[in-house]
Amino acid sequence: MASAEPPTGPKTIAGFIRKPLFVFENTPVAEILLLLRRSRHPMCLVINDKSEVTGLITAEDIVREIVGTSRACKKFGKAGI
């Protein structure tokens, strides 16, 4: 029995790439969280005044700092992530 859809070639990473978000080190955390939510990016790169990358921050990092680690994460040993 023939398949209705033709076979596709290997997928490439090009379809998944997005331009990164950059924030300065002195950007308020509330502003970063809002930027992440609006852009639907899970993370952004932190840069200094010389435009050097100094770190990476995720929305999850921010939320954990605000509300703490949940009991479920502690129970399953994910508190250090």
- Per-residue pLDDT of 11-52, as tens digits, reads 888 888 889 999 999 999 999 999 999 999 999 999 999 999
**Does the model's pTM come out above 0.85?**
no
The DSSP line for 13-45 is GGGG--PPPEEETTS-HHHHHHHHHHHT-SEEE
Helix (H, G, I), strand (E, B) or coil at 61: helix
Give whole-number Cα distances, 22 to 6, 54, 67, in Å: 40, 11, 24
Domain residue extents for the chain:
20-75
Cα gap 59→64, rounded to integer Å: 9
Write the class of the CATH domain 20-75. alpha beta
